[in-house]
């Protein structure tokens, strides 16, 4: 009995990390209509910067903020310097995939060149006590991760629902031209989206590195497909969809890891291929949460 709950609990942690990342990823997809395959490398960059600060006795929360800033700034730079010029030229979607893949290779290997191929661990342990929730055991780190994820989801919800910029973001995601003609400053909203999603990437990077026992420059990119899976399953650009999908994907991984550990992420891969082939719009439509009646 408790084994399954352990699996579910494990899945919940995965879901938390995936949620933060895939919401950021899907926001970028929604605003720019491109699959930013370099997303995980922004995560990685922020994660390594946090490693540097943590190694200099900066506390976790401050490091998180630093990571969020690193993520936001680099994402903004990437969109302004790389993606926007190509998009303005009318580049085809596949060209943008190649560009983002090239950027992924550039960043990943750039980080590799700087820090080397060895494995690292965050010099933090926040409470090794095993806390029991229902029948599953969590460590302090893991509960913090879940807490961060829940906090972020809540903050995003408040942002989207109750702030002007949040409403503008939703409007642009739903119908870009209509939003623009109603006076919404498209370029500024886009920049905000890149900054926020970049911050999410930064936080996701730290949280990911916190959760794995050791990490190296290749760790983050192994998460890319899982993140895409959640984003596509939730519907391109649908923030709430991505949250729900993250839970589904996270639990899928958690439960398969009980039986066939070496194949646990494959379940996410297979899920993604099936979704893309059969229903590329994901659960959009079934889950009409982020849309409001016009």
Residues that bind other proteins (CB under 8 A): 34-35, 82, 85-86, 91-99, 101-106, 108-110, 112-113, 116-117, 225, 228, 232, 262-263, 265-266, 269-270, 272-273, 276-277, 280
Closest by CA to 108, choosing from 2, 209, 217, is 217
The nearer residue to other proteins, 101 or 133, going by C-beta atoms, is: 101
Shortest distance in whole angstroms from residue 225 CB to other proteins: 5
The nearer residue to other proteins, 165 or 174, going by C-beta atoms, is: 174
Shortest distance in whole angstroms from residue 246 CB to other proteins: 17
Report H helices in the chain. 2-32, 39-55, 60-78, 84-88, 93-115, 140-162, 164-174, 176-181, 186-211, 224-233, 239-259, 264-278
The nearer residue to other proteins, 69 or 115, going by C-beta atoms, is: 115
DSSP per residue over 35-52, as a string? --TTHHHHHHHHHHHHHH
Q: How far, rounded to the nearest angstrom, does the alpha carbon of residue 66 sit from its chain's CA centroid?
A: 17
Shortest distance in whole angstroms from residue 105 CB to other proteins: 4
CA atoms of 48 and 149, how far apart (whole Å)? 20
The nearer residue to other proteins, 28 or 53, going by C-beta atoms, is: 28
Shortest distance in whole angstroms from residue 27 CB to other proteins: 17
Shortest distance in whole angstroms from residue 93 CB to other proteins: 4
The nearer residue to other proteins, 155 or 260, going by C-beta atoms, is: 260
The nearer residue to other proteins, 62 or 114, going by C-beta atoms, is: 114
Shortest distance in whole angstroms from residue 67 CB to other proteins: 23
CA atoms of 76 and 191, how far apart (whole Å)? 7
Crossing angle, helix 264-278 and helix 224-233, to 10 degrees?
40
Cβ contact 70:203 at 8 Å? no
β-bridge partners, 138: 131
CA atoms of 94 and 16, how far apart (whole Å)? 30
- Reported residue count of the chain is 294
The nearer residue to other proteins, 21 or 210, going by C-beta atoms, is: 21
β-bridge partners, 136: 133
The nearer residue to other proteins, 56 or 92, going by C-beta atoms, is: 92
CA atoms of 208 and 44, how far apart (whole Å)? 9
Shortest distance in whole angstroms from residue 231 CB to other proteins: 11
| Tokens describing residue 177 | 């031209």
Shortest distance in whole angstroms from residue 91 CB to other proteins: 8
């Amino acid at each position: 009995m408790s084994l399954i709950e352990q699996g579910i609990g494990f899945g919940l942690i995965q879901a938390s990390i995936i949620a933060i990342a895939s919401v950021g990823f899907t926001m970028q997809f929604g605003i720019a209509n491109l699959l930013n395959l370099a997303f995980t490398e922004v995560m990685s960059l922020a994660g390594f910067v946090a490693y540097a600060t943590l190694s200099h006795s900066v506390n976790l929360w401050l490091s998180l903020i630093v990571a969020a800033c690193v993520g936001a700034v680099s994402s903004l730079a990437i969109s302004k310097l790389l993606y926007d010029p190509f998009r303005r030229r009318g580049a085809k979607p596949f060209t943008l995939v190649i560009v983002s893949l090239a950027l992924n290779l550039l960043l990943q290997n750039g980080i590799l060149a700087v820090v080397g191929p060895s494995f690292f661990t965050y010099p933090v342990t926040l409470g090794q006590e095993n806390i029991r929730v229902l029948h599953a055991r969590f460590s302090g780190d893991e509960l913090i991760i879940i807490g961060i994820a829940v906090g972020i989801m809540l903050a995003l919800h408040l942002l989207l629902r109750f702030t002007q910029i949040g409403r503008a973001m939703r409007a642009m995601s739903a119908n870009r031209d209509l939003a623009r003609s109603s006076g919404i400053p498209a370029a500024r909203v886009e920049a905000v989206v890149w900054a926020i999603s970049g911050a999410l990437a930064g936080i996701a990077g730290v949280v990911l590195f916190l959760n794995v026992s050791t990490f190296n420059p290749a760790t983050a990119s192994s998460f890319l497909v899982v993140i895409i899976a959640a984003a596509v399953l939730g519907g391109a650009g649908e923030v709430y969809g991505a949250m729900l999908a993250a839970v589904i994907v996270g639990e899928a991984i958690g439960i398969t890891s009980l039986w066939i550990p070496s194949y646990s992420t494959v379940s996410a891969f297979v899920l993604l291929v099936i979704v893309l082939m059969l229903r590329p719009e994901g659960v959009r439509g079934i889950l009409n949460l982020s849309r409001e009646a016009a």
